[in-house]
Amino acid sequence: MREGNAVRTPVVLGIESSCDETGAGIVSGGRLLAHVVASSMDEHARFGGVVPEIAARAHLQAFDPVVREALAQAGLGMRGIDAVAVTTGPGLSGALQVGLAGAKALAYAAGVPLYGVHHLAGHVAADTLEHGPLPDPCVVLIVSGGHTSLLLVRDLVRDPILHLGDTVDDAAGECFDKVARVFGLPYPGGPAIDRAARDGDPRAVAFPRPLSGSKDDPYTFSFSGLKTAAARWAERHRRRGEDIPLADGAASLQEAVADVLTRKALAACRRYDVRTLVVVGGVAANSRVRALAEERCAAAGVELRVPPLTLCTDNGAMIAAVGDLLVRAGADPAQLNVSIDPSAPLEYAALHPVSAPARAA
């Protein structure tokens, strides 16, 4: 990191391979230098969901070209990389293994430290690449294919991450994916529902708003009942031999999901007197979630931060962003024998033990 007498800002390479996207990104001092993603999504489409074996094999094939392209984008060789960060969980175990093995090899060969990063912390950090450092504290709504959580985040890499609420069953993205399948829409379902909803009436079908009653926990989510309600609605049309009014169904489903997500997120901002809401994860790409969040945040005087679309879905830049924060916080790197944790709970941004000064007691 030393060039002559000047100390150069460390450059961090981030690797993501927890699901069906192989991502490599390069970040230095909070600045995005490269962002490359290869997706095996098309190979899973005919199975209606991600097939773990196919995903792992695709990562193996994509790893090298994706990393090379990221280095080329940044105009760097491995000699210009000061640390490697990699998703070590949660995710598909075979897929995570490929990314971790590759990242270890790169770090070892380059003689630079390795950091194991929690995938969801990556989604949170993605926003910093567009909008700068996160204010302390902020409320973060993570909405992806596997997770739906409302978090109170202080210093992302130093402090423990406080869960205000999580989903008790399906994640919001999972709900979109499963309902899309019943509606006969292609995988992944979220973008397909978003497209189909464009010409629909969001008030056409009165889908339920789960756990939104006055006696319900204000920050806990549930999407399985909504998924079932949408499936039954589609079945009713099918049984009568009618076409499913897809646009109205999709718009109404999207409205229900966006309503519940944003209502709970803003209730958390009010309760904890937080002035910034960050919405991240694949479902943050949803047009209605974004629009309703904007509307409700503006009404409540809360600043809304949503990463640009390409940084919402899985990518390596978001993992590099966490690595960059860890390096700058002076966090301990992982040992080279660090392993994956496919079901890691989100407690800290780094998945390996990190001692002071990076982690406050």
Question: Which positions lie near Zn ion, rule CB under 5 A?
Answer: 144, 314
Buried/exposed 185-220: b ≥16 CB within 10 Å, e otherwise:
bebbbbbbbbebbeebebeebebebbbeeeeeebbb
Residue 323: contacted member of Zn ion, ligand KG4, none (CB under 5 to 8 Å, by partner type): none
Binding partner of residue 283 among ligand KG4, Zn ion, none, CB cut-off 5 to 8 Å per kind: ligand KG4
How near is the Cβ of 188 to ligand KG4 at its closest, in Å?
4
Three-state secondary structure readout of 268-294: HHHHCCCCEEEEECHHHHCHHHHHHHH
Q: Are 171 and 210 in contact (CB under 8 A)?
A: no
Judged by CB under 6 A, the chain residues 88 through 147 that form the site for ligand KG4 are 144-146
Q: Which DSSP state fits 204?
A: S
Q: DSSP secondary-structure letter at 341? A: -
CB of 178 to ligand KG4, least distance (A): 9
d(CA 71, CA 80): 9
Contact between 148 and 211 under an 8 Å Cβ cutoff? The reply is no
The tokens 């000061």 sit on which residue? 82
Query: Do strands 2-3 and 6-7 pair parallel, antiparallel, or not at all (unpaired)?
Result: antiparallel
Other beta carbons within 10 angstroms of residue 167's beta carbon come to: 22
Phi, psi of 28 (to 5 degrees): -140, 125
Question: Using CB distances below 5 to 8 A depending on partner kind, what does residue 177 bind out of Zn ion, ligand KG4, none?
Answer: ligand KG4
Site for ligand KG4, residues 314 to 353, rule: CB under 6 A: 314
Report the C-alpha gap between 107 and 286 in whole angstroms.
Answer: 36
Residue 107 or 171 with smaller CB distance to ligand KG4:
171
User: Binding string, 268-297, against ligand KG4, x = CB under 6 A?
Assistant: -------------xxx-xx-----------
Picked from ligand KG4, Zn ion, none, the partner binding residue 313 (CB below 5 to 8 A depending on kind) is ligand KG4
Beta-bridge partners for 296:
none
Report, in Å, the least distance between residue 61 CB and ligand KG4.
20
Measure the CA–CA gap between 40 and 43, rounded to whole angstroms. 5
Member of 11, 19, 112, 302 binding ligand KG4 (CB under 6 A) = 19
Q: How far is the CB of 176 from ligand KG4 (least distance, A)?
A: 5
- Nearer to Zn ion among residue 248 and residue 314 (C-beta): 314
Radius of gyration of the chain from its Cα atoms, rounded to whole angstroms: 21
Separation between Cα atoms, residue 60 and residue 203, nearest integer Å: 46
CB atoms within 10 A of CB 352: 18
| In the complex, minimum distance from the CB of residue 342 to Zn ion, in angstroms, rounded to a whole number | 14
Say which entry of ligand KG4, Zn ion, none residue 307 contacts (CB below 5 to 8 A, set by partner kind).
none
Q: Where in 172-231 is the site for ligand KG4 (CB under 6 A)?
A: 173, 176-177, 188-191, 194
- The smaller minimum CB distance to Zn ion, of residues 308 and 330, is found at 308
Cα separation, 217 vs 220, whole angstroms: 6
Query: Interacting stretch for ligand KG4, rule CB under 6 A, among 57-65, 160-168, 169-177, 227-235?
Result: 169-177
Q: 128: how many CB neighbours lie within 10 A of its CB?
A: 23
- The smaller minimum CB distance to Zn ion, of residues 17 and 144, is found at 144
Q: Which does 285 bind (CB under 5 to 8 A by kind): Zn ion, ligand KG4, none?
A: ligand KG4
User: Cβ 39 to ligand KG4, closest distance in Å?
Assistant: 10
Shortest gap between Cβ of 355 and ligand KG4 (angstroms)? 29
16 binds ligand KG4 (CB under 6 A): no
Least distance in angstroms from the C-beta of 14 to ligand KG4: 15
Which spans of this chain sit near ligand KG4 (rule: CB under 6 A)? 19, 144-146, 173, 176-177, 188-191, 194, 281-283, 285-286, 313-314
